[in-house]
């Protein structure tokens, strides 16, 4: 299995803000950033066409850097309101067309994090659960998936702390309602763990639907302390929740081992807020640990 996996980076450690959020405007210019990702030891980078670039121009930047595109991420900016559906579906189809032009067949699909929202104020606890809302979102996500599949790209559900699909129960509800051929599954080791999910169990149960994983490590004592103190998402992040792979408490090797033996997808590192202060050194340490832990060539 390991010899067929690709090591990728979503370079968000360059985006980390002092207040525990992410600002893409903090990243270096696209060509410089891609060169740093390659130099750090990655084979691929999360596909994200920069503003002002065509897909062809972005593909040329990737080629010049010696990187392959790895599946990107589409945010469904709706809370399930039917009135939002036409615009959101068209945006999803457009993102799928961009991915198809890059030669990709998968893309992550998630919901937005809203500053000041109840699940940002009380994160990773399934705050204000609502089965009706989950059902409405499932219907919308199913329609998005159908539109994206029509473009040749299958979306993969990405549960995320701070959104309305956060918990293991919510994740299973959506995946069990939408056919596998329409909707894959994109686990994030850190977000699901923070929300109390059995990540390895989810990976084992839905492994055939997983095209790639987000690999994130976390210090669970920080998560527990934040929950006990009633801290919000950003405060918990600032207190040191996230760290480079291998530096936290998560059994990343065990989670990856739960994948099917034939898995040949992408392991995509994400370090939302690096423990190492320099983003490039964070990327280097991440690549080094991943290659050692999973016997990846490079």
| Angstrom distance (rounded) from CA 246 to CA 261 | 23
CA 150 → CA 98, 100, 172, 258, distances in Å?
A: 13, 11, 24, 30
Q: In whole angstroms, give the CA distance from residue 119 to residue 137.
A: 16
Reported as a pLDDT band with limits 50, 70 and 90, residue 49 is: very high
Distance (Å, whole) CA 141 – CA 182: 10
- Over residues 111-123, mean pLDDT: 96
Q: Average pLDDT, whole number, for the chain?
A: 96
Q: Which residues contact 182 (CB under 8 A, 6 or more apart)?
A: 142, 145, 146, 149, 154
166 pLDDT higher than 50:
yes
Is the model's pTM score more than 0.85?
yes
Distance CA 273, CA 277 (A): 9
| pLDDT at position 79 | 84
pLDDT tens per residue across span 176-224: 999 999 999 999 999 999 999 999 999 999 999 999 999 999 999 999 9
């Amino acid at each position: 299995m390991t010899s067929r996996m690709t090591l990728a980076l979503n370079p968000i450690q360059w985006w980390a803000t002092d207040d525990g959020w992410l600002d893409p405007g903090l990243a270096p210019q696209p060509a410089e950033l891609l060169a740093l990702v390659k130099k750090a030891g990655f084979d691929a980078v999360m596909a994200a066409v920069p503003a002002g670039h065509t897909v062809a121009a972005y593909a040329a930047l990737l080629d010049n850097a010696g990187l392959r595109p790895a599946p990107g991420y589409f945010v469904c900016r709706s809370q399930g309101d039917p009135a939002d559906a036409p615009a959101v579906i068209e945006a999803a189809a457009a993102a799928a067309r961009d991915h198809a032009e890059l030669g990709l067949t998968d893309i992550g699909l998630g919901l937005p994090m809203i500053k000041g929202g109840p699940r940002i104020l009380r994160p990773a606890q399934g705050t204000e659960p609502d089965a009706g809302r989950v059902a409405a979102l499932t219907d919308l996500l199913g329609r998005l998936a159908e539109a994206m599949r029509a473009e040749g790209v299958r979306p993969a559900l990405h549960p995320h702390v701070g959104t309305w699909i956060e918990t293991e129960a919510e994740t299973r509800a959506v995946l069990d309602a939408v056919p596998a051929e329409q909707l894959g599954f994109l686990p994030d080791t850190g977000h699901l763990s923070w929300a109390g999910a059995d990540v390895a169990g989810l990976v084992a149960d839905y492994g055939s639907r997983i095209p790639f994983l987000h690999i994130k490590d976390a210090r669970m004592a920080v998560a527990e302390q934040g929950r006990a103190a009633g801290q919000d998402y950003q405060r918990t992040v600032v207190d040191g929740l996230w760290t480079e792979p291998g530096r936290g408490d998560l059994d990343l090797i065990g989670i990856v081992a739960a994948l099917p033996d034939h898995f040949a997808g992408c392991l995509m590192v994400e370090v939302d807020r690096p423990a190492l202060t320099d983003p490039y050194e964070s990327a280097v340490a991440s690549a080094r640990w991943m290659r050692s832990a999973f016997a990846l060539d490079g």
